[in-house]
Chains A and B, each alone.
Chain A
Amino acid sequence: MQFWATVLLDGLTYASYLFIVSLGLTIIFGVMKILNVAHGSFYAWGAYTAAFAIGFITDNELSEALFLPAILISAILVGVVLGYIIERFILRKMYNQDIHLIVLATFGVFLIFEDLIIITFGVDPYLPYQPAMMLGWVDIVGLNRGVYQLTLILLASIVAFACWYGLTKTKWGKLLQSVIYDREISVAMGIDVTKVYVVTFIGGAILGALGGAYVAPTTSVSPGFAIDLVVLSFAVVVIGGMGSIPGALIGSLIVGILRAFAVHQAPILELFVVFAVMAIVLIIRPEGLFAPPKPRKI
C-alpha cells in the first residue's frame, strides 16, 4: 500500500511539473504550428526571475506572504515580455517559412537567451529555498512530503481546469479552437489570427515561465538547467499528440508515473521507460495519442 501510494504521489508530482511546461509547448504548436525550442528559455528565465524576487524579499526582510505572488508575477512578467519580443520580432517574420527553419530559429533564440541569462544573472547558482522551507513537510503514508512540492499538483490542476474552461466556455477559447482547426477558414471568417497568435504565444510563454518560477524554490537555479526539461517536455508532447491539451495531460501522467515506478523498482531504467513509451507511441500512432483530427482539404 505504502509503495503504490508513494509511486502514485511521486508520479503525480513529477507529472504536474511536466504538464505545466509541456502545456505551453503544445498550445503554441497547436495554434501556430511552431515547434518552439525556445520554450526552455521561458522556463529558465521564469526560474531566475522568481529566484531574484525571492532573494529580494528575503534580503529586505519583507513578508513571507509575498513569496507566492512574487512567483506568479515573475512568470507573467517573463511570459509577456519574452513572449511578445520573440513573437513580434522573430516569429512573425517567419510564419510563411518552412517549419524546419522556424525550429532552427527558435533553437537559436534558446541559445541566445541562455547566454543572456549568464550576462544578466551570472554563473553562480541561485538557491531560493525560502518558500519551500517556509511550508515545511507533512507525513503521507509514512513518508515525509514537502508541502510546497505537493502544491505543484494543485497548481497543475488549476491550470488544467482553467485551460479547459477557457477553451470550451469562453469566446476566446472558441476562436482559438477555430484557428487550431483551420487557419485559412478562420481568417475568412474574420478572426484576427495575428492577434490570436500573439495572445497564444504569450500564454504559452507564461506557462513555461510558471513552470520554472514555481520549481525554482526546490532546486539550484543555474545556467543550463532547462535543457533536460525541454527534452522531456518534447517527449510528453509527442506521446500525447502535438497540439493536444488532453494529450499533454495524459502524456505527463504517463511519463511521470512510469518514471516514478522505474525509479522505485529499477532505477537504471528511469529514462529508458520514458523514451521507450515515446518510441512505441511513434510506431503505433505517429501523430500521438490525442492528436487533434486534421481536416482533409479538397
Chain B
Amino acid sequence: MEIKIFNKTTKIASASMLVASCLFAGAAMAKDSVKVGVVSFLTGPAAGVFGVPAKQGAQIVIDAINNGTMPAPYNTQGFAGAKMNPVFSDESGGGTKQVGLFRDFVEKQKVDAMIGYISSGNCMAIGPIADELKMLTVFSTCGTPRLYEEKLRSHVFRTQANAVGDSLAAARYIVDMYPNEKNYTGINQNYAWGQDSYKFFELGMKQMSPDSKGSDKPQFPKLFVGQYGTEISALSLDKAKVVHSSFWNGDIEAFTLQAMVRGFFQKKIFVSSVGGSAVDALGKKFPDGIVMGTRGNVGLLARDNKDPLNLWFIGEYKKRFNALPLGPSYQYARSILAYKFAMDKAMKKAGKFPTQDQVIAAMKNIKFKSFTETISMARGGGHQAVHSVGYGLTKYNKKGKTPGAEKVKMYGPECIYPPAGTKSEDWINAGMPGAKCK
C-alpha cells in the first residue's frame, strides 16, 4: 500500500516537473536579450584612432538593429529577435590580462558571445581559450594569418581578412603603378602583425617582380615606441625607394609627423597598409601621394562608395559622432552584422531561438552583406573571411575639405588569398597558382 502511495506521489511529482521544465524551456526559447562582450582599445595609444572609432561603429549598428532601424538586408529587429546588450571592455594590457578578462566574461558574466579584438597578439592569446571555453567569438580587426593557418578553430570566427591580402595587394599596387621600382624595404612593428605583414609583402614582391630586391636592413621598432628619427635616417640612406609599413595607431601618426618634417615622403614611395587613421587625423597636412590601404574597402577608400548601406553608415556616424567612420569602425560594425546574420539564419533553421552550436553552424561559410561588398567566410574551415583589399594615393580634397584618395585599385579575394586549405606562404612560394587578378 505504501508502495502504491509512493508510486502515485512520484507520478504527480514527475508530471509537475515535466510541466515546469516545459514552461522554463519555453521561457528560454523566447529570449529577450543577448549579452555580448565587445572588446577594443579604450585606453592607451591605440584607443583614439582605433579602439574608440571601433566601439562607435559597433554602437551604431547595435542600436539600429535593436531598434529595427537598420536598412535592408538587416531591417528585422534584434538578433534572432533578441536585443543585444553589449558590455564594452578595454583591450589594453596585453594577452595575459585579456585572457583573464575573457574568462571573466564567460564564466562570471555569462555572455552569449564575444566580439572584437584589434591586436593580433591578443587574438592569438584569446583564440585557444575561446575554443577551450566553447565561447562563440568573432574577431573584428586583428590580422595575423597564423590564427587559422596554425590551427583551425571551432568557436572562433574572424570577419576581417588576414594580413596576407593586405600585403599582397600592396605588392600588386607597387608592381602595377611603379613597375620600374625594384628595391624595397620596410618599417613595421616588432610583433606578430608587423612581422607577418612585411614577410608577405616581401614574398609577394619576389613573385610579382622577380628581379626586385628587398633591403637587408628592414626596420622593426618596438610597438608604441613613438620616436623614429634614427629609423627615418636609416631608411633614407637605404637605396630602396619603396618603403612598406603596417604601422597603426599612434605609431603611424608619429612616424608620419617625423618623416614629414624631413621631406621623407618626397623622396620615397611610402606604402602604408593601415594608415588611414593618420590621414584623417592630420587632414590637409597629410602628404599627398602616399600609397594608402585601409585593410579592405572601408574607411578612407570607402568614402565615395554609393552602396545604400555604406551611405547610411557614414550618415549615421557623422550625425552621432560628428566624424567620418574609420577602418576599425567598419570592421567592428560588420562583425555585428555577421553575428546578426548568423543568429537570424540559425533561428530560421531551428524554428526557435538558436543555441550557440546552431549559431556556430549557421555562421560557417556564410556570405553576408557588408557596407561595400558581400563578404565570404570562405577560409579557415568557414571561419575566416576574405574580401577585397584596395590601395590608392592620398589626395586631399580641397573643395570638400576632406582627406581622400585617387588612383584607387581594388584587388578581389581570388587575387590575393590562397584557396581554402592552402597555407599562404606555400601558395605564394608556388607562384600563387589560380590567382585571378583583373
Contact = CB atoms under 8 A, between A and B. Distances in A.
A3 B250 CA distance: 29
A72 B269 CA distance: 37
Contact of A220 (B257, B261, B262, B263): B257
Interface in A152-186: none
B44 A224 contact: yes
A10 B230 contact: yes
A70 to B, nearest CB: 18
Interface residues on B, range: 35 or more
Interface in A42-78: none
A94 interface: no
Contact of A133 (B231, B254, B260): B260
Contacts of B227: 14, 17, 215, 218-219
A3 B260 contact: no
A222 B47 contact: yes
B209 interface: no
B224 to A, nearest CB: 6
Contact of B45 (A3, A14, A224, A264): A224
B234 interface: yes
B257 A223 contact: no
B222 interface: yes
Contacts of B258: 146, 149, 218-219
Interface centre among A11, A219, A270 (most CB of B within 10 A): A219
A220 B43 contact: no
A225 B233 CA distance: 22
Contacts of A122: 48
A270 B221 contact: yes
Interface in B9-67: 42-45, 47-49, 51-52
A26 to B, nearest CB: 20
Interface stretch (A82-90, A137-145, A195-203, A284-292): A137-145
B226 A127 contact: no
B224 A224 contact: yes
Contact of A143 (B218, B233, B253): B233
A278 interface: no
Contacts of A268: 220
Interface residues on A, range: 35 or more
Interface string A258-298: 01100111111011000000000000000000000000000
Interface centre among A6, A122, A124, A267 (most CB of B within 10 A): A267
Contacts of B218: 267
Contacts of A144: 236, 262-264
B47 A264 contact: no
Given A129-B285, A222-B48, 10 more contacts: A123-B43, A123-B51, A135-B261, A145-B262, A146-B258, A218-B229, A219-B253, A223-B47, A224-B44, A263-B234
20 contacts: A11-B230, A123-B48, A124-B52, A125-B250, A127-B281, A129-B260, A137-B261, A137-B263, A143-B237, A149-B229, A218-B229, A218-B257, A218-B261, A220-B253, A223-B43, A224-B43, A229-B226, A263-B234, A264-B217, A264-B237
**Top 10 A-B pairs, shortest CB-CB distance:** A220-B253, A220-B250, A123-B47, A146-B261, A124-B48, A224-B44, A10-B230, A219-B254, A144-B262, A222-B250
